[in-house]
C-alpha cells in the first residue's frame, strides 16, 4: 500500500513537472534523479522499520572524527604541489546541462579570493552552465577554446559532480592527466574521474550516497574511510559537497603555504581544514528516510523561494545557500535579478527571472557573515521554516559535519 502511495506521488510530481520547469528552469535531471533514488531507498528503509519507531525519531548523532596523523596531512599537501608552473593555472570544468552548484562555484570563489593561481571556469560546449539544484552561470571558455589558448594545459583540473558521463569530457580529462595535470574530483566528481579510468587501483573517497555504486562499478578503487579528502598519484578526491571548502584551502596551502591558507580560512570563518572526517555519521538513516518522504508527500505545500542576485556577492555563500534551500524537499530556489550579475571574484551569474513572482518567499542572505557562519545560519533558518529534521536532511546531503 505504501508503495502505491509513493507511486502516486511520483505521478503527481510528473504532472507538475512542466510548471515547475518553467518556474525554476535550473531544476535539472540529475537533481530529479537523485530525488527519486533517495525516495526509493527511503521506502526500502521504512519497509523494514518497526511501527513503534515511527512514534519518535532521535536526531542523527555524528561521531567524533578520528585525527589525521601529521605525516599523512603533510603528505597530502606534498601530493598537491604545483606540477608545472610556479603560478598555477587551474581549470574548473563542467558539462552545460547539469553540474553541481557548490562543486563548481566554491572552488572558483575560494581560489580566486586566495589569488594564488589563475582560475578559469570551463564548459564542454558554448552557452551557460545550468547548475543543479539551482542557478546558472556563464563560463569563461569552452574546453576547445581553452585548449587552443593554453596548449600546455592546466596544472590542476577540478571536476565537480555532474549528471552524466560526457564522452568528450572524459577524453579531455584523460588528456590533461596524461599531460601532467593534477585532477581534483570534488564530491561525486569522483564518479567522473573513475569513469575516465583515473582512479583505477588508487585510494579515493566520494559523497556517501554515491560511494557504494562507484565501488561496485570500479572495484579496483580503494576507499579510505574517515578521510574528507585523499590524494593518490596525481588524482585527489573528496567526500560530499561541503568538502570542496577544506579541499580548496588544502590546495591553497600546497600552492602558497600555510600562512596564505590561514588568511583565507579566517575570511571564510574556518579554524581548520584538515582531512579528518567521521564517515559513519553519513548514511541513509530512518530519520532521514522519514523526513524525505514526509516532505515530498506535501507536494501541495512546495514553495518557490527567490534568491536575489546582487553584484559583488560572495560565491561561496551564494552557492551554499542556493544548494541548501534546494535540498529541503519543500522548496525550489530561483535566482532573481534584472540582468546578469558579477560576483566578488568575477563569476557571471545569470538570473532565472527578473522578479520573485507573486507571493514568493525569499532566501535569507546572511551577506554580512563569513561563508561558514552563513551556512550554519542557513541550516538554522531551514530548521525554523521546515523543522530541525529537514535541516538535518539538508546537512546530510551536503555531507556537512557542522564545524
* Strand ranges of the sheet holding 89-92, from the earlier edge strand across to the other edge: 141-142, 118-123, 89-92, 156-159, 182-185, 235-238, 229-232
Angstrom distance (rounded) from CA 336 to CA 350? 9
Q: Give one DSSP letter per residue of 79-118, joined into a string.
A: HTS-SS-SS-EEEE---SS-EEHHHHHHHHHHHHHHTSSE
For 77, half-sphere exposure in the C-beta direction (CA atoms, 13 angstrom radius) is 19
How would you class 55 by CB atoms within 10 Å of its CB: exposed for 0-12, middle for 13-18, buried for 19 or more? exposed
324 touches 379 (CB < 8 A): yes
Rg (CA), the chain: 20
What would the DSSP string read from start to end of 135-150?
A: -EEE-SEEHHHHHHH-
Q: For cell 588568511, what's the residue?
A: 263
Distance between CA atoms of residues 41 and 57, nearest Å: 18
Cis omega (within 30 of 0) for bond into 133: yes
Determine the Cα–Cα distance for residues 222 and 199; give it in Å rounded to an integer: 9
24 is catalytic: no
Task: For the beta carbon of residue 89, count every other beta carbon within 10 angstroms.
Answer: 20
Q: Which of 106, 134, 135, 187 is catalytic?
A: 187
Catalytic site positions = 187
Amino acid at each position: 500500500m505504501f508503495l502505491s502511495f509513493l507511486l502516486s506521488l511520483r505521478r503527481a510530481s510528473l504532472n507538475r513537472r512542466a510548471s515547475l520547469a518553467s518556474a525554476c528552469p535550473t531544476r535539472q535531471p540529475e537533481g530529479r534523479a537523485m530525488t527519486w533514488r533517495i525516495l526509493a531507498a527511503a521506502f526500502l528503509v521504512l519497509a523494514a522499520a518497526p511501527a513503534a519507531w515511527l512514534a519518535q525519531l532521535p536526531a542523527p548523532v555524528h561521531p567524533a572524527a578520528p585525527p589525521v596523523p601529521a605525516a599523512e596531512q603533510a603528505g597530502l599537501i606534498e601530493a598537491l604541489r604545483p606540477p608545472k608552473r610556479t603560478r598555477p593555472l587551474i581549470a574548473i570544468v563542467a558539462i552545460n546541462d547539469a553540474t553541481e552548484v557548490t562543486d563548481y562555484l566554491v572552488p572558483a570563489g575560494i581560489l580566486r579570493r586566495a589569488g594564488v593561481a589563475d582560475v578559469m571556469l570551463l564548459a564542454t560546449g558554448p552557452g551557460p552552465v545550468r547548475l543543479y539544484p539551482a542557478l546558472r552561470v556563464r563560463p569563461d571558455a569552452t574546453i576547445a577554446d581553452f585548449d587552443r589558448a593554453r596548449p600546455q594545459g592546466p596544472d590542476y583540473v577540478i571536476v565537480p559532480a555532474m549528471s552524466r558521463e560526457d564522452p568528450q569530457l572524459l577524453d579531455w580529462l584523460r588528456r590533461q592527466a596524461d599531460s601532467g595535470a593534477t585532477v581534483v574530483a570534488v564530491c561525486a566528481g569522483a564518479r567522473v574521474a573513475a569513469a575516465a579510468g583515473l582512479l583505477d587501483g588508487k585510494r579515493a573517497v566520494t559523497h556517501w550516497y554515491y560511494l557504494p555504486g562507484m565501488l561496485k562499478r570500479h572495484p579496483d578503487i580503494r576507499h579510505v574511510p574517515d578521510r574528507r579528502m585523499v590524494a593518490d598519484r596525481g588524482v585527489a578526491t573528496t567526500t560530499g559537497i561541503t568538502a570542496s571548502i577544506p579541499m580548496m584551502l588544502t590546495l591553497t596551502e600546497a600552492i602558497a603555504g600555510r600562512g596564505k591558507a590561514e588568511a583565507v580560512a579566517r575570511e571564510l570563518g574556518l579554524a581548520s581544514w584538515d582531512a579528518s572526517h567521521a564517515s559513519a555519521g553519513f548514511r541513509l538513516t530512518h530519520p532521514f528516510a522519514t523526513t524525505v518522504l514526509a516532505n515530498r508527500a506535501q507536494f501541495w505545500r512546495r514553495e518557490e523561494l527567490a534568491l536575489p542576485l546582487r553584484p559583488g556577492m560572495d560565491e561561496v555563500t551564494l552557492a551554499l545557500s542556493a544548494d541548501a534551500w534546494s535540498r529541503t524537499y519543500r522548496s525550489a530556489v530561483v535566482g532573481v535579478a534584472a540582468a546578469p550579475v558579477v560576483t566578488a571574484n568575477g563569476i557571471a551569474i545569470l538570473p532565472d527571472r527578473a522578479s520573485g513572482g507573486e507571493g514568493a518567499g525569499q532566501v535569507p542572505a546572511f551577506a554580512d557573515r563569513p561563508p561558514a557562519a552563513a551556512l550554519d545560519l542557513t541550516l538554522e533558518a531551514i530548521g525554523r521554516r521546515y523543522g530541525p529534521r529537514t535541516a538535518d536532511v539538508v546537512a546530510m546531503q551536503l555531507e556537512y559535519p557542522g564545524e
